[in-house]
Chain A
Amino acid sequence: MTAASPHAAERFRVLVPPLLDDAYSLAKWLCRDANDAEDIVQEAAVRALKALETTSVDRPKPWFLAIVRNAAVTWMARNRRKDLAFAGGLDDLDALAPGDGNAAADPEALLIAVQDGERLRRAMAALPPPLLEILILRDVNGLSYRDIAEAAGLPMGTVMSRLARARGALARSLKADP
């Protein structure tokens, strides 16, 4: 392996540094560990630099976050985190649950619960990873549906239903026990 070409290095310096906060936040939620998140982002940066030898990028944010996501998935497969595995049995996640469409029986309970940041983060951590990643890409990284579909490699309809399931599950979990 040789050093990056000046061409790829210039692209890299323009595209990647502005996206590191987003990349780190995404990686940290996916792997649940600050140190591991640094490793994942650094690995993603190595992959990105290599890709920039041959690729020019129109939509840098979904492009780089897709690399971060894939680096996180590889990392989790390799580092014994089977509990956070992404693969398998997702079909049931892509249909909305029957209760998802019902407005709060007790809207007050929800409005009080969402004030509690610690409780909200716990409820998020309990979401299945495939739902959580879509929620993070939308509400933390601020991507549009189209960009999420690109970053996660999913059809837009799947993105929309997983996001709805994630938010529905959060609402139910916050309304349930304190």
Chain B
Amino acid sequence: MSDPADLRRLRLQAALDGELDAANALAFERDLAADPALAAEYRELAAVRDAVRRHVPREAAPKGLVDAVLALAAGEPAKPARAAPPPASRARGWLALAASFAGLGFAAGVGLTSLNAPDPSRAVAGSLVSDFARASVAGQPFDVASSDRHTVKPWLAGRTTVSADIVDLAAQGFPLAGGRVAIVDRAPVPTLVYRHNEHMAAVTELPLDAAGARAEGTATIDGYHVARWSDADLAFVAVSDMDAPTLAGFVAAFRAARLSHREESGKR
């Protein structure tokens, strides 16, 4: 990969995928403006990338599969994800393996049902989407701008009724950008703003007893993607202008970080 032509192509592609740092991106933009052949190559690669994204969307996992996977964590014996019995000729060793997760589990508390929940949760999501849109348009996505959670946490603590749990996701590609206060159910609650390239995700933390807090799932409202979930102690609403797969990755990273945070506090 030391061939200059190869390196040139790999740099072009890294630029296309948003993988260049600021200094390299600047140098690349200069080259792009000065070199029509490079610009043509860039347009071609961009056309291919955009076509894949447009014509090959991420597919939703079938409900039978989601149910079967949730049942695993509930300690129920695994059921085949689909109704038809598998052909006997196929190796199904794992089914037997999964079936041995038998026993008296607790019910799965978490489902990923679609967000056609009753009105309060819909209203909450709608108002948080408006907040997000307004904050983005105004160019002021947060009231306190800081990538340091030890700055954001006390700022929010002084202004909201929920004690914000702030996780550091910079290593996962989502640095903290700041925090702001949202009003939900007439109470001030903390909202954390994370960045991903030029996009943002705002996570609002709600007490579990707030109206409409306990909704699960994803939705698209006014062009923004919304993900909702709840853990043992708090409910969360994430609003973002990231694409849906990236938001799903963000939510997974956020939940994983909170979980290990809680596990560590538990040990102390």
Q: Is the CB of A139 within 8 A of B53?
A: yes
Q: Is the CB of B110 within 8 A of A1?
A: no
Q: Is the CB of B44 within 8 A of A20?
A: no
Q: Is the CB of B69 within 8 A of A45?
A: yes
Q: Is the CB of A139 within 8 A of B81?
A: no
Chain A contact residues, majority secondary structure: helix
What total of chain B residues lie within 8 Å of the partner, measured CB to CB?
A: 86
Measured between alpha carbons, how far is A56 from B260 in the docked complex, in Å? 7
Partner among B14, B91, B110 whose Cβ is within 8 Å of the Cβ of A78: B91
Contact with A along B90-118 (1 / 0, CB 8 A): 11001001101111111011111000000
A21 neighbours in B (Cβ, 8 Å)? 58-61, 245, 248
Identify which of residues 130-178 in chain A touch chain B, using a CB-to-CB cut-off of 8 Å. 135, 138-147, 157, 160-161, 163-164, 167, 170-171, 174
B75 neighbours in A (Cβ, 8 Å)? 3-4, 9
Known contacts A46-B94, A124-B52; A3 and B101 CB within 8 A of each other: yes
Partner among A13, A19, A46 whose Cβ is within 8 Å of the Cβ of B248: A19
In the assembled complex, how far is the CB of residue B222 from the closest CB belonging to chain A, in whole angstroms?
21
Known contacts A1-B100, A58-B256, A157-B1; A17 and B69 CB within 8 A of each other: yes
Query: Known contacts A12-B73, A20-B61, A135-B52; can you find 11 more A-B pairs with CB under 8 A?
Result: A9-B73, A9-B75, A13-B70, A20-B112, A21-B60, A24-B62, A58-B256, A60-B253, A79-B90, A107-B40, A107-B43
Top 9 A-B pairs, shortest CB-CB distance: A117-B55, A114-B51, A142-B245, A103-B40, A24-B61, A20-B61, A60-B252, A103-B41, A38-B81
Q: What are 20 contact pairs spanning A and B, CB under 8 A?
A: A13-B70, A13-B73, A17-B70, A18-B227, A18-B251, A20-B69, A38-B64, A38-B65, A41-B81, A45-B69, A95-B1, A96-B1, A103-B40, A114-B50, A120-B51, A139-B49, A140-B53, A164-B9, A167-B48, A174-B48
